[in-house]
Amino acid sequence: MRYQKFDPEAMARRSVNYLTRMVDKSNDNLPYWLILPNKKPAEAAHCRVDDAELVGSWYEGLSCSMRLLGTDKGRDVLESYKRFLLSSWGEHGLRFHKKYPWTHTMHSSFHEMGYILSALVRLSQDEPDNEEVEARISGLIKGMRELVVERRVRTFWNGDMPEDRPIYEFPNDVYLLNGGFDLSCHTGRGEQPIRNAIMLKALAERYELKRDENALDLAVGIANQVLGPSRYFSWDMNYFGHVHSSMWFASGLVQLGRATGNKEYVSKGKGIYDYTRSMSSSFGWVPEYARWHPMDEEHCESCCIKDMIECGLELIKCGYSEYWTDILLFSRNQLVENQVSYSGYVTDDNTLPDKDGITYKDISSRMIGGYTGGSLPNSISLSKFRSIAGCCAGIAPVGVYLVWENAVGIENGALTVNIPMGKACAEYRLECGYPDRGLVAITPAFNCDVRLRLYPFMNGKLSVRVDGQEAAYSTEDGFVSVRSVKAGSKVSFRHAMRSGIKKEICAGREYKVLWRGCDVIDILPHGEHLRLYQRDSKAAKVLPQPEDVKYTGAANYGPTQQAPLKKG
How much is the pLDDT for 412?
87
pLDDT at 566 over 50: no
Please give the mean pLDDT across all residues of the chain. Answer: 92
Q: How many domains does the chain have?
A: 1
Range from 326-330, 480-484, 561-565 carrying the lowest mean pLDDT: 561-565
| DSSP strand pairing (497-506 vs 565-566) | antiparallel
Mean pLDDT of 191-203: 97
pLDDT at 462 over 70: yes
Q: Identify whether 562 is part of a domain.
A: no
Name the residue range of residue 481's domain: 408-453+461-494
CA–CA gap between residue 97 and residue 85 (Å, rounded): 10
Task: Dump pLDDT digits (tens) for 18-44.
Answer: 999 999 999 999 999 999 999 999 999
Q: Identify whether 18 is part of a domain.
A: no
pLDDT at 558 over 50: no
From the CB of residue 161, how many other CB atoms can be counted at a distance below 10 Å? 10
Amino acid sitting at position 556: N
Q: Which of 436, 437, 415, 434 is nearest to 426 (CA)?
A: 415
Q: Identify whether 293 is part of a domain.
A: no
Q: Identify whether 566 is part of a domain.
A: no
Task: Dump pLDDT digits (tens) for 509-551.
Answer: 999 999 999 999 999 999 988 899 999 755 444 433 333 322 2
Please state the pTM of the whole predicted model. 0.93
Q: Identify whether 29 is part of a domain.
A: no
For residue 200, CA distances in Å to 218, 300, 318, 347, 365 come to 8, 23, 18, 42, 36
Q: Identify whether 161 is part of a domain.
A: no
String of DSSP letters for 492-523: EEE--EEEEEEEEEETTEEEEEEEETTEEEEE
Cβ contact 203:134 at 8 Å: no
pLDDT at 356 over 90: yes
Mean pLDDT of 95-111: 95
Residue 483's CATH number: 2.60.40
Cis peptide before 128 (omega within 30 of 0): no
**Residue 130 DSSP one-character state:** -
Q: Identify whether 446 is part of a domain.
A: yes
Q: Identify whether 489 is part of a domain.
A: yes
556: confidence class by pLDDT, cuts 50, 70, 90: very low
Task: Dump pLDDT digits (tens) for 126-138.
Answer: 999 999 999 999 9
